[in-house]
Amino acid sequence: MDSLIEFLKNEITDKMLLESIVSIFEQMCNIPLEEDMILFETGTFTTSAHEPVFQLSLVRQFSNDDEEFYQIHVNILYKPTSENEMFSEATWDEDLSENIFDYIRNSEVFAYAKNKEYIKVEIYLDET
């Protein structure tokens, strides 16, 4: 699990294109784990600093030993605008008939976000 986070942190660089970030996350998801799930989430959220941000989140979830889950997050944060406030979704790979990365790349929010400058990328692990 630490090696997956390390991989992401080594491969994702500041101001990298959104397409490249998604491709690197996809590569990390191709490293086998038992019973993992992938979540694509977008929306405007309030940060711990009470600042609103528009966010595209890529999450890989898998079991820990305590019947809970680890989640590896790659969050791409943008300035909230009237343009991006309309985007809000949470889609799990198991709910799709197509590959989730094809779904992401073909989504309206991806088409919008790939042409916008993001504030930063967060990469971290948490537990549910």
pLDDT tens profile 73-111: 999 999 999 999 999 999 999 999 999 999 999 999 999
| Confidence tier at 12 by pLDDT (50, 70, 90) | very high
Asked if 70 contacts 1 with a C-beta cutoff of 8 angstroms, the reply is: yes
Residue 41 belongs to domain spanning: 2-127
Q: Is the pLDDT of residue 1 over 70?
A: no
pTM of the model: 0.92
Instruction: Note the pLDDT of residue 112.
Output: 96
- The one-letter amino acid code at 84 reads N
Report the greatest alpha carbon distance in the chain.
43
For 96, the token pair is: 């799709």
